[in-house]
A = this chain, B = another copy of it.
Amino acid sequence: MTDERVARAALSRLTEPGDPRVAGVVEEVGAVRLHDDVVALRGERELDRDAQVRVARLDPERELEEAAAQGIRFVIPGDAEWPRQLDPLSHVEELQQMSGRPLGLWVKGPLRVDELDGAVAVVGSRASTTYGEDVARELAAGLARDGRCVVSGAAFGIDQAAHRGALALDGPSVAVLACGVDRAYPAAHRELLARLGSVGAVVAEVPLGCAPMRMRFLARNRLIAGLAQGTVLVEAAVRSGALNTASWTTRLSRPLMGVPGPVTSAQSQGVHHLVRSGAAALVTTSADVLEVVGAVGEHLQEEPREPDRPRDRLTRRHRQVLEAVPVHRPADVAAIARTAGIGLLAARTALAHLAKGGFVVDTEEGWRLGPAALGVPQPDPFPA
């Protein structure tokens, strides 16, 4: 009887990733039985017609050996290193009908893919703007600072910026590819992929040597969403491929987040649409992301605000008088009282209080605004 790992390696060569028929049969009868069936009864199932060409060249044992020689392992369900966060792909009925769990993951790199708890996917347009790349890099760096793994697709644009942001802080990062992990796609990212393979992980569902194809990108996107606890969409035009990763995140019932941008930027339009429709939460910093994906209460942020100013603790009356003191010239108490619309005595009392706090100064020409009113930092005159 065929070994489970060998059967899965063979099936990953024989079939296209994300094919729900394959995943469904594997869940039902097991990979070994499907494998033996395909090899023995070629031509009798619809599935087999696609596979005939591949079956002829099949040698899974040798593929596994050659991969191992290149430091590449094939992680399958049941392995200690299997990332269980992918299991809903087969165990949730709606997801099973659309795709299913991968047969296995070809992994290159020291990072164990079962230790990505709390990983965050940061994805977006290939045709990104400088703004988007800057934000992706900053976000990823912030996540790395929190010890979070950054998952992305190593594509041009947002993806590469996210990986680089994490790597810059020596943070863990995983690239999920639509081609074999021994290939560099895009070729311009050969060095980036080599770096990820030496300090993080490069992962693919398709075996070594496979070329990236459109459908493989779609299947790959479900793994980016599936490996992460939540997905941040940094930039996406209305029809960006990154929206596919966003959909998978939602189907997986995991938090989807979007970074806003100028409404005049086509690259932010898809993100704004998701936020507007309520599908994505708006995030602007890694702290926002951690608040969304973190354990409840773990990363609750304080509302952003500037520190209290002594001015805020003035009474209504005192503020009324302070506002009546002219900015450019001194004024006497009668003029100030008139402008403030209050009596002389009340104005005089208020001015005395304001003078204590440095808000006004009594000069020979009359009352002037003091340093505290002009924004000069002061020791707090009225401690709370």
Contacts and interface: CB of A to CB of B under 8 A. Distances in A.
Nearest to A50: B342
Contact of A339 (B50, B211, B316, B319): B211
Interface in A219-274: 238-239, 259-264, 268-269, 272-273
Given A16-B320, A215-B316, A262 B53 contact: no
A128 to B, nearest CB: 13
A341 B50 contact: yes
Number of this chain's copies in the complex? 2
Contacts of A211: 339
A114 interface: no
Interface string A260-304: 111110001100110111000111110010000000000000011
A305 interface: yes
Contacts of A338: 53
A71 B131 CA distance: 51
A135 interface: yes
Contact of A323 (B215, B275, B323): B215
Given A53-B343, A213-B320, A306 B260 contact: no
A346 interface: yes
Given A53-B337, A54-B341, A305-B238, A276 B269 contact: no
A329 interface: no
Contacts of A281: 276
A282 B282 contact: yes
B284 A214 contact: no
A313 to B, nearest CB: 14
A336 B50 CA distance: 13
Interface in A316-330: 316, 319-320, 323-324
Nearest to A269: B304
Contacts of A346: 49-50
A52 B323 contact: no
A378 to B, nearest CB: 18
Interface in A19-66: 49-54
Contacts of A316: 215
A380 interface: no
A114 to B, nearest CB: 30
A319 B216 CA distance: 11
A94 interface: no
Given A284-B263, A323-B213, A275 B273 contact: no
Given A215-B319, A282-B272, A316-B215, A49 B342 contact: yes
Interface of A: 16, 49-54, 131, 134-135, 211, 213-215, 238-239, 259-264, 268-269, 272-273, 275-277, 281-285, 288, 303-306, 316, 319-320, 323-324, 337-339, 341-344, 346
27 contacts: A16-B341, A50-B341, A50-B343, A50-B346, A51-B341, A53-B337, A53-B338, A53-B341, A134-B264, A213-B324, A215-B319, A238-B306, A259-B263, A260-B260, A260-B261, A260-B263, A260-B272, A260-B275, A260-B282, A261-B262, A262-B262, A263-B284, A275-B275, A276-B283, A276-B284, A276-B288, A282-B282
7 closest A-B pairs by CB: A260-B260, A263-B284, A213-B323, A276-B282, A275-B282, A214-B323, A272-B284
Given A239-B306, A261-B261, A269-B284, 18 more contacts: A50-B346, A131-B264, A211-B339, A213-B320, A214-B323, A238-B306, A260-B260, A260-B262, A261-B262, A261-B263, A262-B262, A272-B282, A276-B281, A276-B282, A276-B283, A276-B284, A276-B288, A282-B282
